[in-house]
A and B are shown apart, each in its own frame.
Chain A
Amino acid sequence: MQKNELRAFTTWLGDNDVCYTVVKQNAVVELPDAIENSDSVAKLSEGKIYPMLVNLKEIKSISKEARDHFSMQNRPPGVSAIGLLIKSPASTLIGNFFLGLNKSIVPVKLFTNEEKAVLWLKQFQKK
């Protein structure tokens, strides 16, 4: 399993056909980080569309430009659904922004439990 270490994220494609992104400890996510993440996910996916689990637990902040990029409003979505893992007050707040103000064009749901998140994401796997 190949893991990509980016400035603000670690990304990999799981054996369960779910794409994983973990936000690094106290990461301040800016637009270049968001683009780097999308590029990394696109490379891992090799043209296929997978559901994605994003672990936001350790995030510190995220800029408006990065949020807009992740909402995928003006570009084709590289993923079929997004599960957001939250824990800290900041990660909960950012998660709620993606449900309300920075709505994504693919289904998004917040979770505190990884297993439940993966279970929900599996229904969006393309056969």
Chain B
Amino acid sequence: MSKELEEIYKKVCLLAGEKTSIKADKKKGILTGLKKLEETLKANKKQEEENSKRINEILKVVISLANLKYDKKAKISNKKSHFDALALGINMLGEELEASTISLHEKEVLLKEIHHRVKNNLQVISSLLNLQSEKIKQPDLLETFMESQNRIRAMALVHEKLYQSKNLSQIDFTEYVHSFINQMSSSYSLDPDKIKMHMLADMNPHFFKIDTAIPCSLILNELISNSYKYAFPKNRKGNIYLHFAKEKETKNTAQYILEISDDGVGISPEIDIKNTSSLGLQLVDLLTSQIEGKLELDRKGGTKFTIRFPVEKN
């Protein structure tokens, strides 16, 4: 008998002895009753501990499921208790949840696959244009085909950078600019001794989402193409400068500058960039508005296009 019950027994005996003379068989009866009470209390305590342990086990599985981790399963005994049913229910719900959700890894694989396919499809379109252009004799039409090819390649490069990026939703635009210049130089097959490309971008990574990266890539394509095509006629030597940097930043946004300039013959003073028949310049104006940027043209000593645009911080 436990110490506590022994104390109670002594008190009961003392109380009974004080008022009446307690018989031996009654004492035995009291003792048996108290022993039974003790056993019941012990059994209840054990059951309570067992229940608490099972609730904790089930809760751990629920927490795992809430974190989309499906490897933990609640134990099920052969007792067919309500706890077993609860554990079974949680396990089955977990299985259904696992079957109906896409894991983060699967999501990454799918996104990568999408960007890869978009890039491949754009490359196929570019190749088709290339094949078709082989049959074209008119120089104007040939040039139009080449311009379209370059625009498609500029966008394909964004998708290539996207599926190579870590988070699949942003690209490092500094890295993009470097790759783009290489792509562009090989596309125009120009003599680097005649036209030199100078990259003035800072070397820090600047991450842009696709909504900003695609318009910026097309702007870059149009303005550098323009310099290549028109700034240095009749084997004129010269330089093209590309300046890309973060100018300033506030708590929520950063302002960037994208500047493409050359020391060529200069853009005709008659051309108004807000009202021009050139598709390339129309695109630059439109895309600058799309990224909520400001476009400036400086005609001194060649041509200089400056675009300042805001990018929301993550």
Chains A and B form a bound pair: yes
- CB contacts under 8 Å to B, within A87-103, are 88-90, 92-94, 97, 101
B88 at interface by CB-CB < 8 Å: yes
How large, as a class, is the contact surface on chain B? 10 to 19
Shortest A74–chain B CB gap in Å is 14
Tell yes or no: A45 within 8 A of B by CB. no
Is B205 an interface position by the 8 A CB rule? no
Any A CB within 8 A of the CB of B76: yes
Check A64 against B92 for contact (C-beta < 8 Å): yes
Q: Tell me the bound Cα distance from A63 to B91 in angstroms.
A: 9
A-B interface contact total, Cβ < 8 Å: 39
- Interface secondary structure of B, over-half rule: helix
Q: Which residues of B contact A88 (CB under 8 A)?
A: 80, 85
The answer on a CB contact under 8 Å between A60 and B78 is: yes
* Contact of B96 with A93 in the complex, beta carbons under 8 Å: no
Contact residues of B between 78 and 106, Cβ < 8 Å to A: 78, 80-82, 84-86, 88-89, 91-92, 95-96, 99
B95 touches A89 (CB 8 A): no
Q: How many residues of A contact B (CB 8 A)?
A: 15
* A61 & B85 in contact (Cβ 8 Å cutoff): no
Are A89 and B78 closer than 8 Å at their CB atoms?
Answer: no
Q: Is A89 touching B92 in the complex (CB atoms < 8 A)?
A: no
User: Which B residues are within 8 Å of any A CB, using their own CB?
Assistant: 76, 78, 80-82, 84-86, 88-89, 91-92, 95-96, 99
18 contacts between A and B (CB under 8 A): A26-B78, A60-B78, A61-B76, A63-B95, A64-B92, A64-B95, A64-B96, A88-B80, A88-B85, A89-B84, A90-B76, A90-B85, A90-B88, A93-B89, A93-B92, A94-B88, A97-B92, A101-B92
